[in-house]
Chains A and B, each alone.
Chain A
């Protein structure tokens, strides 16, 4: 079963705009991670936020986590054509073994 549910399923914006993707999950977590997948490629780790953190930044990425609402958001600022990809959230549960459970992903298209 999918732990993360992502919203929207697809997002199309103009280059230079900001893109926001949301993720909701069901059970308690140790951490939540975001990954990017370019078409036909493997996933690339973007950022990890721990359950005791509320916000984290990495370059043009900003991730927030609200454990009371079991939700997270990924903000990409000043989007570029190269940001076109699918973005997945993944949760690492509290029972250890570092088994990530992935959402279905958001397909982001940046239009030049």
Chain B
């Protein structure tokens, strides 16, 4: 099915561990995004990639890095996880109608 695929769906990390969240879209979209969603809050932008080969910081980039591997894939890496990074992470991409298509999310817990 066409859309945005995120892996894994759930993850528990210990403080200081690292991990990479994977995201892939098959809609030939140029722009891709990583957001985090915390209880009682809307989504906050971590990083985005307007096109293949470019990445830029969003509102809350500290503690994260990203890689736009190709047009399809945009990964988010936590180098040294902290409890403050416990959240639900969403990847999204955008097409010509300016509406985002979201993945189903990764629920990350850092203990």
Interface, chain A (partner B; CB < 8 A): 1-2, 4, 31, 33, 35, 40-45, 48, 88, 90, 92, 97-105
Contacts and interface: CB of A to CB of B under 8 A. Distances in A.
Given A33-B99, A42-B104, A105 B42 contact: yes
Given A97-B48, A97-B50, A97-B56, A45 B101 contact: yes
B48 A99 contact: yes
A70 B40 CA distance: 23
A45 B42 contact: no
20 contacts: A35-B100, A40-B105, A42-B4, A42-B90, A43-B43, A43-B100, A43-B102, A44-B102, A45-B101, A48-B99, A88-B42, A90-B42, A90-B43, A98-B50, A99-B33, A99-B58, A100-B45, A101-B59, A102-B35, A103-B42
A2 B97 CA distance: 23
Contacts of A35: 100
A42 B4 CA distance: 10
B108 to A, nearest CB: 14
A98 B45 contact: no
Given A2-B42, A31-B98, A43-B90, 15 more contacts: A1-B59, A33-B99, A40-B105, A41-B104, A42-B4, A43-B102, A44-B102, A48-B97, A88-B42, A97-B31, A97-B50, A98-B31, A98-B50, A100-B33, A105-B42
Nearest to A44: B102
A88 B100 contact: no
Interface of B: 4, 31, 33, 35, 40-45, 48, 50, 56, 58-59, 90, 92, 94, 97-105
Contacts of A4: 42
Contacts of A102: 35, 42-44
